[in-house]
Chain A
Amino acid sequence: MRPRLFRFTILAVCALSVSACLPAKQFYWGSYEESLFSRQQHAGAGGEAEAATMLLATINEAQANNGKVGPGIHADYGYLLLKQGRTDEAITQLQKEAALYPESKPLMETMISRIHGRKEKEQEKKSTP
């Protein structure tokens, strides 16, 4: 009887210690960190395009599962769109990040105002031959 009780206690301790190490998920991450790794492994436009596809899928999956997409994901997707020259879509993503996570608002606003500044300059260039 005694050794069995001992074994049971040990098992319970084991189970507890394992469950204590498994954190409950606060956010939906999808393939965010894999997208970072993909960019790290394939520098340049190809890796960035692949990462953008992964992030878009992650954002859609989070929506479908009623999950809150992890911090940084809209911002990172927006940043990749910006690099692809899709500025309007980029701004939308940066705004989403700021709305979801107010901590990011100062940085998102700085980025958005820079994008607007750059756009205005480009338009000036076009209008003055």
Chain B
Amino acid sequence: MRLFSCVIAACAVLSLSGCVTQPKPDYSSFFDHQPRSILVVPPANKTTAVDAPAVFLTTVSAAFAERGYYVFPVFLVQDILNDLGATDEGAIAAIPPEKFKEVFGTDSILYVTITDWATSYIVVASNIIVGAEYRLVDADTGAVLWTGKQKVVHDSGGGGGGGGLIGALVAAAVNAAITATTVQYRPIAIQANDMAASQSGYGIPAGPYHPEFQKDRGQFK
């Protein structure tokens, strides 16, 4: 029983600490240019994982649209950008925001930089780490509407092998062999995006497709 309350307490501390690590963003610019639509451009990549941007791009749409926004279909956007010659992150970053307005009719552009996409191995388990930085920019003026940062460390576990330390080591080796696959990064990336978009006081204020639209300003100051 004592162990149980200890676990619960640890969980509470963790969940609280997850909410107070960053300074609160300033939302005045956001509300001055309240967007209805978000165009997610292919992410920039600070990691050595070559496939991270392409996989990450498949995990952003629902997280941000669920905040009540129209999110343009990401692959269609990517293909149109390719047609325009913007095939890499440098070329995409060089496009002036108003050009996105002209081509797509979007109100805002979401730039994502992937900062973490790795598996770290510790003695009896391995962790999958996905981290990203977000910048939402007004398509009319180029003003920054919102910035966010998120890092999710997923403990992929190491127990369950049984048989004490040797069992744990075997389990760790098996886990390490499995965690290298793309499939296991996706749910962590989805979680990171969900948290970045929807965390109270830090995420994106509710948009026109959300019942809290214009009612949640108290959370975002």
Residue of A nearest to B210 (CB): A26
User: Complex: how many Å from CA A27 to CA B76?
Assistant: 20
On whether the beta carbons of A17 and B104 are closer than 8 Å, the reply is no
In the assembled complex, B22 has its CB within 8 A of some CB on chain A:
no
- Near B by CB (< 8 A), chain A positions 24-76 give 24-27, 29, 32-33, 36-37, 39-41, 70-73, 75-76
* Complex contact B73–A72 (CB within 8 A): yes
Report if B31 contacts A (CB, 8 A). no
Question: Shortest beta-carbon distance, A55 to chain B, in Å?
Answer: 10
Partner of B209, one of A26, A39, A104, A107: A26
Partner of A27, one of B37, B66, B74: B66
Residue from B12, B57, B62 within 8 A of A17 (CB atoms): B12
Q: Please give the number of chain B residues whose Cβ is less than 8 angstroms from any Cβ of chain A in the complex.
A: 46
Contact assessment for B58 and A33 in the assembled complex, using a CB-CB cutoff below 8 Å: yes
The listed residue (A7, A23, A25, A36) touching B5 by CB distance below 8 A is A7
- Asked if B37 and A103 make an inter-chain contact with CB atoms under 8 angstroms apart, the answer reads yes
Interface flags, A1-29, vs B, CB<8A=1, else 0: 00100010011011001101101111101
Interface segment, one of B117-125, B171-179, B193-201: B193-201
Complex Cα gap A40–B78 (Å): 12
CA distance A21 to B196 in the complex (A): 11
Instruction: Determine whether A96 belongs to the interface, using a CB cutoff of 8 Å to chain B.
Output: no
Most buried by B among A32, A39, A79, A107: A107
Q: Is the interface of A mostly helix, strand, loop or mixed?
A: helix
Give the distance to chain A from B40, nearest Cβ to Cβ, in Å.
10
Closest residue of chain B to A74, judged by CB? B73
- Whether A71 and B200, one on each chain, are in contact in the complex, defined by CB atoms closer than 8 angstroms, is no
Complex Cα spacing A32 to B200, Å: 26
Are B15 and A76 within 8 A (Cβ)?
A: no
A71: chain B residues within 8 A (beta carbon): 61, 65, 69-72, 209
Tell me if B105 and A105 are in contact (CB < 8 A). yes
- Determine the residue in chain B with the shortest Cβ distance to A35: B58
* A106 CB–B CB distance under 8 Å: yes
Are B200 and A72 neighbours in the complex by a CB distance under 8 Å?
A: no
In-complex Cβ contact of A107 among B8, B57, B59, B72 (8 A): B72
Whether the Cβ atoms of A107 and B210 lie closer than 8 Å is no
Q: A17 with B15: in contact, given A23-B194, A26-B68 (CB under 8 Å)?
A: yes
Q: How far is the CA of A37 from the CA of B184 in the complex (A)?
A: 12
Instruction: Check if B186 sits within 8 Å of A103, measured CB to CB.
Output: no
Q: Which residues of B contact A (CB under 8 A)?
A: 5, 8-9, 11-12, 15-16, 19, 36-37, 54-55, 57-59, 61-62, 65-76, 79, 103-107, 182, 186, 190, 194-195, 198-200, 209-211
Q: List 9 A-B contacts (CB under 8 A).
A: A10-B8, A17-B19, A18-B15, A23-B67, A32-B62, A40-B55, A40-B58, A41-B182, A103-B37
When A and B form their complex, which 7 residue pairs have the shortest distance between CB atoms, in order from nearest?
A106-B105, A72-B73, A103-B70, A36-B58, A103-B37, A76-B73, A17-B15
